[in-house]
Amino acid sequence: MANVIDGVKYTKEHEWIKIEGDVAVEGITDYAQSELSDIVMVELPSIGRKAKAGDAIGTIEAVKAVTDIYAGLGGEIIEVNGNVASDPALVNKDPYGEGWLYKLKIEDAKEVENLLSPEQYKELIEKK
């Protein structure tokens, strides 16, 4: 069973979002990395890019599959994790830690209400 951690929010697109003041740290969930399996390339958004919630802002390529990275919240990309660009397997190894993808300056804090709680996300993946 995939690991769903507390203290972060989730999206239906299998991303996790950790709110730190007006900054959101985002990555993909353990469920997502396990479905994708061996991740070999991660294309991150460029810093300064403005995204709306739900925008495709990057790509994750696994051996057998490819998926977009979606912005969980609207805002401006202020930092990306260069380590996953050079070592994409970090996303498989530690999706909630060293495998984080990017940080975004939240534009509208109200959007946080649209995100899923750990319980809601657990329910979502259990239905699969």
Binding residues (CB under 8 A) for another protein: these are 37-38, 40-41, 43, 59, 61-64, 66, 89, 92
Question: Residue 112 is which amino acid?
Answer: V
| Beta carbon of residue 75, minimum distance to another protein (angstroms, whole number) | 23
Q: 88 — alpha (psi -120 to 50), left (phi > 0) or beta?
A: alpha
Specify the residue, 40 or 109, whose C-beta has the smaller distance to another protein. Answer: 40
Decide: 98 and 88 in contact? Cβ < 8 Å: no
Q: What is residue 31's three-state secondary structure?
A: helix
| Beta carbon of residue 39, minimum distance to another protein (angstroms, whole number) | 10
Specify the residue, 36 or 104, whose C-beta has the smaller distance to another protein. Answer: 36
Specify the residue, 14 or 103, whose C-beta has the smaller distance to another protein. Answer: 14
| Beta carbon of residue 109, minimum distance to another protein (angstroms, whole number) | 31
Specify the residue, 64 or 110, whose C-beta has the smaller distance to another protein. Answer: 64
Question: 108-114 contacts: CB < 8 A, separation 24 or more?
Answer: 108/73, 108/74, 109/22, 111/53, 111/73, 111/74, 112/9, 112/19, 112/73, 114/53
| Beta carbon of residue 19, minimum distance to another protein (angstroms, whole number) | 29
